[in-house]
Amino acid sequence: MTLSFAIIAALIIAAATAAMTLRNLVHSALAVAIAFAGLASAYLQLGAQFVGLTQILVYVGAVAILIVFAVLLTRGGEAPEKSVFSASWFWGAAIATSVFALLACAINHSFASKRALPPQPSATVEQIGQDLMTKFVLPLEVIGLLLTAALIGAVIIAMRDESPKSKIEDGGSKMDKTSGPSSILHPPSSSGGHQ
Amino acid sequence: MTPLAGYLLLSAFLFAIGLAGALTRRNAIIVLIGIELMLNAANLNFIAFWRYGANPEALTGIMFVIFAIAVAAAEAAVGLALIIAIYRHYKTTNVDEMNSLKG
The predicted complex's ipTM stands at 0.93
Q: Of A53, A77, A101, which residue constitutes the final position of a domain? A: A77
CATH number, position A34:
1.20.120.1200
A97 within some domain: no
Asked if A157 lies within 8 A of B67 by C-beta distance, the reply is no
Flag whether A94 is in a domain.
no
In a domain, A3, yes or no: yes
User: Residue A53 is part of which domain span?
Assistant: 1-77
pLDDT band at residue B14 under the 50/70/90 scheme? very high
With respect to residue A193, please indicate whether it lies within any of the assigned structural domains: no
The domain tally of chain A equals: 2
Residue A69, domain member (yes or no): yes
CB B21 within 8 A of CB B37: yes
* Residue numbers in B near A143 (CB within 8 A): 67, 70-71
* pLDDT, tens digit, 9 for 90 and up, residues A83-102: 778 888 899 999 999 999 99
Q: Does A70 share its domain with A132?
A: no
Nearest CA in chain A to B10: A9
Report if residue A150 sits inside a domain.
Answer: yes
What is the C-alpha separation between A148 and A77, in angstroms, rounded? Answer: 30
**Predicted TM-score (pTM) of this structure:** 0.83
* Residues of chain B with C-beta less than 8 angstroms from the C-beta of A79: none
Do A7 and A69 reside in the same domain of the chain?
Answer: yes
Question: Under an 8 A CB cutoff, do B62 and A132 touch?
Answer: no
CB-CB neighbors (< 8 A) of A112 in chain B:
2, 4-5, 8, 52
Cβ neighbourhood burial of A135 (10 Å; 0-12, 13-18, 19+): middle
